[in-house]
């Protein structure tokens, strides 16, 4: 069973890559060339009609939406999250969906405000400021609830959170990002640190040019090929 991960460097596909490598699952990668807007082509939309990244081809069909892919992998293979009969499953699930449905979409809106407000830069700035305030609150909740979702072994939720925190530091590149300080969230900082120590993270750093501290002290990616934006 070999999967095909459609990815772009430093996109949400990195979370799925972490999960696949952490679980030791065989997969191939196919670059979605964002610089050429390949995610908008008919060929890609035939796989993912939303034109978003990532997409995962499996022997059981094509999957998209980051949270759905992660949950499917965890339930299909085990070792990536609490099993359905685990007493901690409910607490873990609610925060996985919180990140997928609340934190990640808020970040996306800060990256691409024009998709939600139009071309007026003042409207875009107001939306970003509002979302940054909301995101700070969301991250505080995650930090305070760490006991609900942190487990002895890292799970796909850890990978998802670490990626979102990375993006808070780096994107959007043309705006003030001083609203975010990882040290304000000690439990989340600990998550980033332990994800960085995983062999799967070392593989990710090489594959996507993310540097030696991709989550605790992120820098702009220098991927061997492809573009993050």
Q: How far is residue 187's CA from residue 46's CA, in Å, rounded to a whole number?
A: 40
Q: How far is residue 191's CA from residue 163's CA, in Å, rounded to a whole number?
A: 11
Q: Dmax of the chain from CA atoms?
A: 50
> How high is the pLDDT of residue 92?
96
Looking at the predicted structure, is the pLDDT value of residue 1 above 80?
no
What rounded mean pLDDT belongs to the chain?
Answer: 96
Count the neighbouring beta carbons within 10 Å of the beta carbon of residue 145. 15
Q: State the average pLDDT over residues 172-196.
A: 95
Q: State the average pLDDT over residues 209-215.
A: 97
Pick the CATH number of 89-208 from 1.10.260.40, 3.30.70.260, 1.20.1050.10, 3.40.50.1820: 1.20.1050.10
Phi, psi (5° rounding) for residue 211? 85, 180
Phi, psi (5° rounding) for residue 198? -80, 145
Helix crossing, 89-98 with 156-170: angle to 10°?
A: 20
Of the candidates 142, 154, 138, 156, the residue with the CA atom closest to the CA atom of residue 15:
156
User: Could you tell me if 56 and 156 are in contact, meaning their C-beta atoms sit under 8 angstroms apart?
Assistant: no
- Rounded to two decimals, what is the model's pTM? 0.96
Beta strands in the chain (DSSP E): 3-7, 27-31, 55-58, 61-64
> How high is the pLDDT of residue 109?
95
pLDDT digits (tens, 9 = 90+) for 64-118: 999 999 999 999 999 999 999 999 999 999 999 999 999 999 999 999 999 999 8
> How high is the pLDDT of residue 154?
96
Q: How far is residue 64's CA from residue 54's CA, in Å, rounded to a whole number?
A: 6
> How high is the pLDDT of residue 175?
87
> How high is the pLDDT of residue 207?
97
Q: How far is residue 229's CA from residue 220's CA, in Å, rounded to a whole number?
A: 11
Phi, psi (5° rounding) for residue 156? -60, -25
> How high is the pLDDT of residue 174?
83
Percentage of the chain exceeding pLDDT 70: 100
Q: Which CATH class is domain 3-77?
A: alpha beta
The helix/strand/coil state of 8 is coil
> How high is the pLDDT of residue 39?
97
Residues in a beta bridge with 6: 30, 55
The verdict on whether omega for the bond into residue 172 sits within 30 degrees of 0, i.e. cis, is yes
Percentage of the chain exceeding pLDDT 90: 94
Of the candidates 28, 26, 27, 34, the residue with the CA atom closest to the CA atom of residue 8:
34
User: Could you tell me if 8 and 49 are in contact, meaning their C-beta atoms sit under 8 angstroms apart?
Assistant: no
pLDDT digits (tens, 9 = 90+) for 185-201: 999 999 999 999 999 99
Buried b (16+ CB within 10 A) or exposed e, 17-47: bbbbbbbebebeeeebebeeebbeeeebeeb
Taken as a whole, the chain contains a residue count of 229
User: Could you tell me if 164 and 103 are in contact, meaning their C-beta atoms sit under 8 angstroms apart?
Assistant: yes
Residue spans of the domains in the chain: they are: 3-77, 89-208
């Amino acid at each position: 069973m070999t999967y095909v991960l459609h990815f772009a460097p430093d996109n949400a596909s990195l979370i799925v890559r972490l999960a696949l490598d952490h679980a030791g699952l065989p997969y191939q990668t196919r670059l979605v060339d964002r610089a050429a807007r390949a995610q908008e082509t008919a060929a890609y939309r035939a796989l993912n009609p939303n034109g978003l990244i990532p997409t995962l081809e499996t022997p059981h069909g094509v999957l998209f939406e980051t949270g759905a892919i992660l949950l499917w992998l965890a339930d299909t293979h085990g070792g990536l999250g609490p099993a359905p009969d685990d007493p901690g499953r409910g607490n873990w699930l609610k925060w996985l969906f919180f990140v997928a449905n609340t934190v990640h979409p808020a970040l996306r809106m800060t990256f691409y405000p024009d998709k939600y407000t139009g071309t007026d830069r003042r409207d875009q700035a107001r939306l970003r400021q509002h979302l940054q305030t909301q995101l700070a609150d969301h991250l505080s909740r995650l930090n305070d609830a760490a006991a609900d979702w942190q487990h002895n072994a890292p799970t796909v939720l850890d990978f998802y959170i670490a990626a979102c925190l990375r993006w808070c530091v780096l994107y959007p590149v043309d705006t003030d990002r001083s609203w975010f300080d990882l040290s304000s969230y000690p439990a989340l900082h600990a998550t980033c640190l332990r994800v960085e120590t995983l062999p799967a993270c070392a593989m990710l750093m090489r594959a996507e040019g993310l540097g030696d501290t991709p989550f605790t002290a992120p820098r702009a990616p220098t991927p061997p090929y492809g573009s993050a934006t």
